[in-house]
Amino acid sequence: MQYADNRSRPRVRIPPRLVIGAIIGLIAVIGYFANSSTNPITGRKQHIALTPQQEVAIGLQSAPQMAQEFGGLSQDAGATARVKSVGKKLIANLPSEATPYPFEFHLLADPKTVNAFALPGGQIFITDALFARLETEGQLAGVLGHEAGHVLARHSAAQIAKSQLTQGLVQAVGVASSDSPQGAQNAAQIAQMVGGFINLKYGRDDEIEADRLGLRFMRASGYDPRSMIRVMEILKEASGGSAQPEFMSTHPDPGNRIEHIRAELIELFPGDDFQGLEK
């Protein structure tokens, strides 16, 4: 009987960098998918590591710095009161599941930057440049309702989780791709670019969802949700045919935004003539 001589076969040696890179990537993926929950407002399953309380803490901590970047809070008492009044009316009619978030609405002094945004946990801002362009209270409700939609859909928290996953995978690619620091850095930059495109796609999906929620919140608070269409027209007009307003940069346009909103109005409120609502 003859036995095979295995001593002549070369052993396959896996480079340590591949093993370490695989471990880093696996930890990032497991950490991301291990934290999942169903959003009670949207009914969608999300992968989020932060609790609502942590989101609130992040928002409160970040709010002063964000306000400073836009010239601080507006000193126009009347305009500020109007923003807070519309915001208060919106949150009074939000679903009961929204209670973990102590919403606050702020008017920023910036007269040039057309923008509105929300921090995690319910800190919502609109610049004077955008506020001054709005023509009705319903349009203001549309902007603030859209931002409240981002908060309640937990888009910021979801993006933080995706960013952490991307960073983990970028680190894994960097470690596994090269033994040299320069090679690892180049591979990591390429992976980071790919991760950015992936996250941008979700940003567009977020915009559609925030629009949908904003329309619901407007209707529940007595505002004509069709006012959101005029908001989109105002934002396009603000571009002046050249550079986009900052709002359109931070809120990617999912194709034809106005057509999306019109389709949502038909689906959400079939047969509703919106009579008696504030425009």
Give me the catalytic one of 147, 207, 209, 264: 147
| pLDDT value of position 91 | 95
Q: Which residues are CB-neighbours of 201 under 8 A, at least 6 positions away?
A: none
| pLDDT value of position 159 | 81
Query: Per the domain annotation, does 4 fall within a domain?
Result: no
Query: Per the domain annotation, does 3 fall within a domain?
Result: no
Q: Provide the whole-model pTM.
A: 0.77
Query: Per the domain annotation, does 64 fall within a domain?
Result: yes
Can 69 be counted among the known catalytic residues? no
| pLDDT value of position 26 | 56
Query: Per the domain annotation, does 1 fall within a domain?
Result: no
14 by DSSP, 3-state: which? coil
Query: Per the domain annotation, does 11 fall within a domain?
Result: no
Identify the CA nearest to 204 among candidates 253, 155, 137, 171.
253
What string of pLDDT tens digits covers the 279 residues of the chain? 555 555 556 666 766 655 565 665 555 455 455 567 899 899 889 888 889 999 999 889 989 998 999 999 999 999 999 999 999 999 999 988 888 899 999 999 999 999 999 998 999 999 999 999 999 999 999 999 999 999 999 998 888 777 665 665 455 455 455 555 554 454 444 444 444 444 444 378 898 999 999 999 999 999 999 999 999 999 988 876 444 566 666 666 655 889 999 999 999 999 999 999 999
Residue type, 132: A
Q: Which residues are CB-neighbours of 35 under 8 A, at least 6 positions away?
A: 47, 48, 49, 161
| pLDDT value of position 156 | 85
Q: How many CB atoms lie within 10 A of CB 251?
A: 23
Query: Per the domain annotation, does 231 fall within a domain?
Result: yes
**Residue 74 structural domain:** 16-268
Main-chain phi, psi angles of 117, to 5 degrees? -160, 165
In the chain, the number of structural domains is 1
| pLDDT value of position 2 | 56
223 by DSSP, 3-state: which? strand
Q: Which residues are CB-neighbours of 167 under 8 A, at least 6 positions away?
A: 28
Residue type, 40: P
45 by DSSP, 3-state: which? strand
Query: Per the domain annotation, does 2 fall within a domain?
Result: no
Handedness of CA 76, 81, 84, 87 (dihedral sign): negative
Query: Per the domain annotation, does 174 fall within a domain?
Result: yes
Return the structure tokens found at 150. 């981002």
Burial of 150 (0-12, 13-18, 19+ CB in 10 A): buried
Handedness of CA 155, 197, 65, 87 (dihedral sign): negative
